[in-house]
Amino acid sequence: MKQSEAVALTFEDFKIEVLNDYKIACISRECSLLGRREVLTGKAKFGIFGDGKELPQLAMAKAFQKGDFRSGYYRDQTFMMAIGHLTIQQFFAGLYGHTDIEHDPMSAGRQMGGHFATHSLDENGNWNDLTKQKNSSADISPTAGQMPRLLGLAQASKIYRNVKGLEHKTKFSDKGNEVAWGTIGNASTSEGLFFETINAAGVLQVPVVMSVWDDEYGISVHAKHQTTKENISEILKGFQRDSSGNGYEIMTVNGWDYPNLIDVYQKAAAIAREEHVPVLIHVKELTQPQGHSTSGSHERYKNAERLAWETEFDCLKQMKKWFVENGFSTEETLDSIASQAKKDVLEGKKAAWNAFVSPIKAEQLELVNLLKEIEKTSNNSAYIEQFASDLASIKEPLRKDILSTARKILRKIVAENEKHKLANWIKVVTSKVQPKFSSHLYSESKENIYSVNEVLPEFDKNSTEVDARMILRDNFDALFSKFPEVLVFGEDAGNIGDVNQGLEGMQEKYGALRVADVGIREASIIGQGIGMAMRGLRPIAEIQYLDYLLYGIQIMSDDLATLQYRTAGRQKAPLIIRTRGHRLEGIWHAGSPMGMIINALRGIHVLVPRNMTKAAGFYNTLLSTDEPALVIECLNGYRLKEKMPLNLGEFKTPIGIVETIKEGRDITVVSYGSTLRLVEQAAKELMEIGIDVEIIDVQSLLPFDINHDILKSISKTNRLLVVDEDVPGGGSAYILQQILEVQKGYFQLDSQPKTLTSQEHRPSYGTDGDYFSKPSAEDIYEKIYEIMSEDNSSKYPSLY
């Protein structure tokens, strides 16, 4: 309902609408009550519900329009029901963990219930028309983790409204009229991510409506431990816009006050939508009738007075009172709506349970029948019979019960003929079931990274050597002019064209919205990128130095890396994160914490180009795909000389493909990034004494050497050294695991595989700090020499 439409409503229409709201509120409440029981009786594992928070969500839903996006948290079931994206049956399917996306559209059973999402993508990973549907970005559990992404969802409207050349992106925006709606619990506003994002949205002046659901508690911890003055809107008053400058519109309203809630939400939406001014709504006096979650009871921490107040100010009770007092309905009519809701919820729950258990029961029956058959000829018939009848007696089986039975019996009959039938059954079932839990970590669409072929950089006889940063700059220039949806933002990325001048002159040419300076706020820089990428833009978020990625890595790990996975492929954010690292000096200016990065970021590609031509080629590749990636440029490479390619914006570095940069016969050295130049130097020196090193540049850590080219190399050299500048057992341990275990390289080796890494501590300052902290050319020389010496000490006598 738009505001203008609200005026036109007759009293009768309005009555129908408010009664429908009451119905949704009752259904939602019943879902919470029954949901808790389902957990306590063991049918579901965990429940966290929206009871006590129904009314503001109904008001928010009325102001929420097609094309808008929600970025919220686990209390918002009523909102999802009110916008038509959550049925009773789906609610329970989520609670049970139904792995079929048709039944649990939120996450196909991957997330706990209460984590909401809509589908931005069809089953093939193609964009739906987001302007024709109401959208919810997929929730995550870390408190305030929804905040950074909210910034980008809102910023996208600003971009679509103000940047020329995006008119064709009609699936994503109607002239930037979309609002991004945030919701957060009062206690979660204590998180840094909340304050960082609030400040950034005020600076950017983007269309956010941020609701704080305030029930005075965060689990058991009272507001007095959470918020200065116990009042978030009070302490945010400095953000209020006034005649002296931009800021927020800040509103407060009580969560049980239905007419005022509707009024406040309509006003907030209009301000955000029309003026692109952020609004904060502090919804006070909310309750949590069943306590925080199914894990505990609130009687432990709320006193009798509070509990009594919560009963009286339960928003449903207050809503009902207001309806009756104002003649919208009678007590009897409202009671009959409530009792009908109870019946509907019970029905929906049953349907969800039946849908959840029937395919599992079919698998159970199939195995029981197979076991009966095997039992006939088996030497272990008594054993099998026992297991089969135990399995058959489970009324509500899980897949774990079925498969663990099958696998235990397989061990017993390993020497019998019939084992093949069982082994085969296990394989078939596992191959069918495992993807239900493991698909879509990466894009499975036609636009994933494997869809791109290598395009080599082209040069002609006039191609000159330039400072390598100019290759990046001119390549970005080509990309900005080719793709109007590409934009870059970061600390110092705008006006001065980044700290290493890879974006020199770009802001002047493409404007301050597409090439933007932003505040020092790494987490929300990442979030800004995630949100914009979810709305069809192609953001490049710049983190100034790799060492500061830690501030952003939480949101990369929790949000970006899990996005495709947690929606079973129904949302994506093809965000490119650009940063620079390796090989400077000092504790916070030289890091290369690759082990931490690749272990935290499965779900994001991690690319480590050794020079700027390779880096530019990665950007070109990534912009033809729909996947998120982190690109780490070499900090000490910007002023080195490289030849300027002719086909800027076109040449493509393939992802997951290694490059042999020097062939050799004696030993394979695997490395990446800045360390490669040292390896090359050491190899040259070793050649003088007849040791012929093969050097492989990994280029891409995630994914890793998809063609197993390193295996081919060690099949020839039979020796392996991995060199990087991470801590011992960091990135190098991962590389060894890939080569020895995944590629089965172990069988090709004549010498013990070795790694050469930094010291355990952070790199010390200065040239000597570097020399004594990180692998030097001498270290590399000696390590290779040592391996060769172990093999032939008469030819290579030990150095020390």
Ligand X SMILES: Cc1ncc(C[n+]2csc(CCOP(=O)(O)OP(=O)(O)O)c2C)c(N)n1
Residues in contact with ligand X by CB under 6 A are 75, 141-143, 185-188, 213, 215, 217-219, 292
700 near Mg ion (CB under 5 A)? no
> How far apart are CB 217 and Mg ion at their closest, in Å?
5
Q: Which stretch binds Mg ion (CB under 5 A): 177-185, 228-236, 252-260, 669-677?
A: 177-185
The smaller minimum CB distance to ligand X, of residues 185 and 731, is found at: 185
> How far apart are CB 555 and ligand X at their closest, in Å?
11
> How far apart are CB 322 and ligand X at their closest, in Å?
23
> How far apart are CB 15 and Mg ion at their closest, in Å?
33
Q: Which stretch binds Mg ion (CB under 5 A): 209-217, 341-349, 478-486, 611-619?
A: 209-217
The smaller minimum CB distance to Mg ion, of residues 116 and 480, is found at: 116
Query: What secondary structure letter does DSSP report for 556?
Result: I
- Interaction pattern, residues 540-559, with Mg ion; x per rule: CB under 5 A: --------------------
185 near Mg ion (CB under 5 A)? yes
| Continuous segment of H or E residues that includes residue 180 | strand 180-185
> How far apart are CB 554 and ligand X at their closest, in Å?
9
| Count, residues in the chain | 800
The smaller minimum CB distance to ligand X, of residues 57 and 743, is found at: 57
Identify the residue whose tokens are 């011992």.
Answer: 728
Cβ neighbors of 424 (< 8 A, separation 6 or more) are: none
Q: Which stretch binds Mg ion (CB under 5 A): 186-194, 224-232, 584-592, 719-727?
A: 186-194
188 binds, among ligand X, Mg ion, none (CB under 5 to 8 A by kind): ligand X
d(CA 412, CA 156): 60
289 near Mg ion (CB under 5 A)? no
CA dihedral 504, 505, 509, 515 (to 10 degrees): 40
227 binds, among ligand X, Mg ion, none (CB under 5 to 8 A by kind): none
> How far apart are CB 143 and ligand X at their closest, in Å?
4
The smaller minimum CB distance to Mg ion, of residues 230 and 791, is found at: 230
| Residue in 227, 265, 217, 255 with CA at minimum distance from that of residue 3 | 265
The smaller minimum CB distance to ligand X, of residues 75 and 572, is found at: 75
Asked if omega into 289 is within 30° of 0 (cis), the reply is no
d(CA 570, CA 583): 39
292 binds, among Mg ion, ligand X, none (CB under 5 to 8 A by kind): ligand X
> How far apart are CB 187 and ligand X at their closest, in Å?
3
| Residue in 250, 155, 266, 260 with CA at minimum distance from that of residue 212 | 250
| Residue in 194, 188, 256 with CA at minimum distance from that of residue 218 | 188
The smaller minimum CB distance to Mg ion, of residues 214 and 498, is found at: 214
> How far apart are CB 36 and ligand X at their closest, in Å?
14
The smaller minimum CB distance to ligand X, of residues 217 and 480, is found at: 217
Helices (DSSP H) in 178-286: which residue ranges?
192-204, 232-235, 258-275
d(CA 62, CA 265): 8
137 binds, among Mg ion, ligand X, none (CB under 5 to 8 A by kind): none
The smaller minimum CB distance to Mg ion, of residues 215 and 694, is found at: 215
> How far apart are CB 212 and ligand X at their closest, in Å?
9
139 binds, among ligand X, Mg ion, none (CB under 5 to 8 A by kind): none
Residue 183, beta-bridge partner list: 211
DSSP letters of 388-441?
Answer: HHHHHT-SS--HHHHHHHHHHHHHHTTTSTTHHHHHHHHHHHHHHHHHHHHTTS
Judged on CB neighbours under 10 Å (0-12, 13-18, 19+), 358 is exposed
142 binds, among ligand X, Mg ion, none (CB under 5 to 8 A by kind): ligand X
Contact of 579 with 542, CB cutoff 8 Å: yes
Burial 109-135 (b: 16+ CB within 10 A, else e): bbbbbbbbbbbbbeeebebeebbebbb
> How far apart are CB 217 and ligand X at their closest, in Å?
5
d(CA 710, CA 749): 12
> How far apart are CB 141 and Mg ion at their closest, in Å?
15
The smaller minimum CB distance to Mg ion, of residues 227 and 443, is found at: 227
The smaller minimum CB distance to ligand X, of residues 530 and 669, is found at: 530
Identify the residue whose tokens are 């939508």.
Answer: 273
> How far apart are CB 142 and ligand X at their closest, in Å?
4
Q: Which residue is nearest to ligand X (CB)?
A: 185
564 binds, among ligand X, Mg ion, none (CB under 5 to 8 A by kind): none
The smaller minimum CB distance to ligand X, of residues 65 and 141, is found at: 141
The smaller minimum CB distance to Mg ion, of residues 212 and 560, is found at: 212
38, 54, 68, 215: residue in contact with Mg ion (rule CB under 5 A): 215
51 binds, among ligand X, Mg ion, none (CB under 5 to 8 A by kind): none
Lookup: tokens for 695: 């050097």
90, 137, 186, 507: residue in contact with Mg ion (rule CB under 5 A): 186
Lookup: tokens for 537: 């833009």
The smaller minimum CB distance to ligand X, of residues 232 and 546, is found at: 232
Assign 3-class secondary structure to 271-326. HHHHHCCCEEEEEECCCCCCCCCCCCCHHHCCCHHHHHHHHHCCHHHHHHHHHHHC
Lookup: tokens for 133: 């549907």
> How far apart are CB 75 and Mg ion at their closest, in Å?
9
- Which residue type sits at 289? P
Chain positions contacting Mg ion, by CB under 5 A: 185-187, 215, 217
